[in-house]
């Protein structure tokens, strides 16, 4: 029998002028991908396809799925998973880790400041109106002190790489970022599918995330409670991230509760159990501020708990994340993060932002309106790839629609040049092709800052697409941070 040709999966692979994670700029396989390349040498597409199918089937059986909105039958989909892992060498991760730690530290100081003295506003480093007009600034919580002064306990910061390979921060998700369950499940699936590879390659583990999360939640418990009861508050089984909520609760060994399971009596929170009421001390809430407490925020909220905010104010229950962190997710605040880092830490940002224009600034507005066909325009308080204009790919009508919106409410818009995201070999049809990716590490702020190595690598599965969101045809990859650099 003829010896099979090596690398059948990589035949005709093209980097197409993008920064490719596996094939550096010189077109050769980067050192940190050597062992993976060796492991894939004789893997052909039939074999790969078989493994991929078995992983998909396992996800479906385990119910590792997300719910599709607007489908009353509760349709569930498997989040597409690509079996080619994304690899980050140790030295690169070390920089990311420092950069993310620096950023979350500054953001927590910033939130504390704007909810207390507002020094950064008073001395004009950030124009006060930007904060005070923020949709998610909770003026009710000015002068309220949160436990241990931590506002963002769990942060999912989106990182991208440009066509030179520079890491850039795309956005901070400081409310209730989801996706970490896929980090853990993707790793499990990879270990089942390519068991041998892990022994050779030296990949740092991720599966301690739930323990770290629990440790953080216990750390922020109200003072004087030796053995605090921690619960996870979910909007319920119809929420698209419900799988993640049960997954994390199970891994941490805590109760998963819905608003209707909780009640507040004398400013203390209790859960309704078969043996009566049981006190609750820390709530890892996966519900937005707006829905938390109908007596304070949205009155029509049935997901929340009447009186919860009073209990929180009284210091009888701790929340993660704190109320009011959404202001840090405001894309206008994002613009100011490099200044925020400089202001509180007196350091240069280790991880730069994408260049950003504020439609509310006159000079920027003129530039934005003149270059709409070249820019990406984003609504300040949307996420998940919604409320966005991709100028270079948009129709004239879409551009005009956004022009009117921007002129009407400039505070609500920012614009950025289109970043040509790095690409990664991805299994498409019967071979590997380059697809664009980003990275969402999950940062925990408790007694110290903990970042589980790697994070969720999202991949835009549509050829040429730069949009990685799950709602827009995105999938994910396992992310390997190596112990070394090769």
Q: Look up residue 450 and give its two tokens.
A: 């903990």
Residue 284 is a binding residue for another protein (CB under 8 A): no
Burial class for 55, CB neighbours closer than 10 Å (0-12, 13-18, 19+): buried
Minimum CB–partner distance for residue 315 and another protein (Å): 25
Q: Of residues 5, 129, 208, 260, which one binds another protein by CB under 8 A? A: 260
* Crossing angle of the two packed helices 180-193 and 209-219, in degrees rounded to 10: 150
> Read out DSSP for 415-474?
EEEPP---EEEEEETTEEEEEEEEEE-EEEESSSEEE-SS-EEEEE-STT-----GGGTE
CB 152 within 8 A of CB 129: no
Buried b (16+ CB within 10 A) or exposed e, 354-375: bebbbbbeeebbeebbeebeeb
Judged by CB under 8 A, which stretch of 34-42, 248-256, 400-408, 416-424 contacts another protein? 248-256
Strands 456-460 and 431-440: antiparallel
Binding mask 147-166 for another protein (x = CB under 8 A): ---------x----------
ω into 110 cis (within 30 of 0) = no
Minimum CB–partner distance for residue 247 and another protein (Å): 8
Q: Looking at beta carbons only, is 240 or 365 nearer to another protein?
A: 240
Helix and strand element counts for the chain (H, E): 15, 22
Residue 438 is a binding residue for another protein (CB under 8 A): no
**Phi, psi (degrees; rounded to nearest 5) at 42:** -105, 15
Residue 471 is a binding residue for another protein (CB under 8 A): yes
Burial class for 483, CB neighbours closer than 10 Å (0-12, 13-18, 19+): exposed
Residue 102 is a binding residue for another protein (CB under 8 A): no
Of 26-85, binders to another protein (CB under 8 A) are 60-63, 69-70, 74
Minimum CB–partner distance for residue 255 and another protein (Å): 6
Q: Of residues 8, 134, 179, 441, which one binds another protein by CB under 8 A? A: 179
**Phi, psi (degrees; rounded to nearest 5) at 342:** -60, -45
Question: Taking Cα atoms as reference points, which of 438, 176, 451, 175 lies closest to residue 329?
Answer: 175
Q: Of residues 200, 273, 374, 409, which one binds another protein by CB under 8 A? A: 273
Minimum CB–partner distance for residue 174 and another protein (Å): 10
Q: Of residues 257, 309, 379, 481, which one binds another protein by CB under 8 A? A: 257
Size of the site for another protein (CB under 8 A): 53
Binding mask 289-328 for another protein (x = CB under 8 A): -xx--------xxxx-------------------------
Minimum CB–partner distance for residue 288 and another protein (Å): 5
- Calculate the CA dihedral of residues 94, 349, 322, 411 and round it to 10 degrees: -140
Minimum CB–partner distance for residue 378 and another protein (Å): 14
Residue 178 is a binding residue for another protein (CB under 8 A): yes
Residue 445 is a binding residue for another protein (CB under 8 A): no
Residue 287 is a binding residue for another protein (CB under 8 A): yes
Judged by CB under 8 A, which stretch of 144-152, 186-194, 280-288, 392-400 contacts another protein? 280-288
Using CB under 8 A as the criterion, which residues of the chain lie in contact with another protein when the complex forms? 60-63, 69-70, 74, 156, 173, 175-179, 235-243, 246-247, 249-250, 255-258, 260-261, 271-275, 286-288, 290-291, 300-303, 383-384, 386, 469-471
């Amino acid at each position: 029998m003829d010896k099979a040709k090596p690398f059948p999966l990589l035949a005709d692979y093209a980097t197409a002028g993008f920064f490719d994670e596996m094939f550096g700029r010189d077109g050769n396989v980067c050192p940190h991908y050597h062992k993976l390349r060796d492991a894939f040498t004789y893997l052909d597409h039939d074999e790969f396809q078989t493994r991929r199918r078995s992983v998909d089937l396992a996800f479906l059986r385990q119910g590792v799925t997300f719910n599709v909105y607007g489908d009353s039958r509760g349709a569930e989909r498997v989040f597409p998973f690509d079996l080619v892992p994304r690899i980050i060498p140790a030295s690169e991760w070390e920089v990311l880790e420092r950069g993310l730690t620096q950023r979350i530290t500054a953001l927590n100081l910033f939130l504390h400041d704007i909810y207390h003295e507002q020094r950064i506003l008073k001395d004009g480093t950030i124009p006060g109106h930007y904060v005070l007009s923020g949709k998610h600034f909770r003026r009710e919580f000015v002068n309220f002190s949160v436990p241990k002064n931590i506002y963002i306990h769990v942060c999912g910061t989106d990182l991208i790489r440009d066509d030179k390979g520079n890491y850039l921060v795309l956005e901070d998700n400081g409310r209730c970022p989801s996706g970490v369950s896929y980090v853990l499940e993707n790793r499990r699936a990879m270990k089942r599918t390519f068991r041998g590879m892990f022994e050779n390659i030296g990949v740092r583990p991720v599966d301690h995330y739930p323990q770290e999360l629990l440790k953080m939640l216990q750390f922020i418990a109200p003072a004087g409670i030796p053995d605090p009861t921690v619960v996870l508050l979910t909007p319920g089984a119809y929420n698209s991230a419900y799988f993640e909520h049960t997954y994390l609760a199970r891994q941490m060994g805590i109760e998963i509760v819905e608003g209707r399971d909780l009640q507040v009596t004398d400013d203390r929170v209790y859960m309704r159990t078969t043996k009566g009421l049981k006190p609750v001390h820390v709530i890892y809430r996966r519900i937005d501020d707006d829905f938390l407490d109908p007596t304070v925020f949205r009155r029509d909220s049935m997901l929340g708990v009447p009186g919860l905010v009073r209990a929180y104010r009284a210091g009888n229950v701790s929340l993660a994340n704190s109320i009011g962190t959404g202001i840090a997710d405001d894309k206008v605040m994002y613009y100011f993060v490099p200044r925020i880092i400089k202001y509180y830490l007196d350091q240069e940002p280790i991880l730069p932002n994408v260049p950003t224009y504020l439609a509310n600034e006159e000079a920027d507005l003129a530039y934005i309106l003149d270059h709409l066909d070249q820019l990406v325009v984003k609504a300040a308080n949307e996420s998940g790839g919604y409320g966005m204009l991709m100028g270079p790919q948009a129709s004239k009508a879409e551009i005009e629609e956004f022009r009117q919106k921007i002129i009407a409410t400039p505070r609500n818009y920012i614009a950025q040049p289109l970043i040509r995201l790095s690409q990664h070999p991805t299994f498409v049809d019967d071979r590997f092709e380059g697809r664009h990716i980003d990275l969402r590490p999950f940062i925990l702020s408790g007694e110290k800052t903990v970042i589980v190595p790697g994070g969720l690598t999202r991949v835009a599965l549509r050829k040429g697409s730069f949009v990685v969101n799950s709602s827009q045809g995105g999938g994910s990859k396992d992310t390997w941070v190596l112990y070394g650099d090769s």
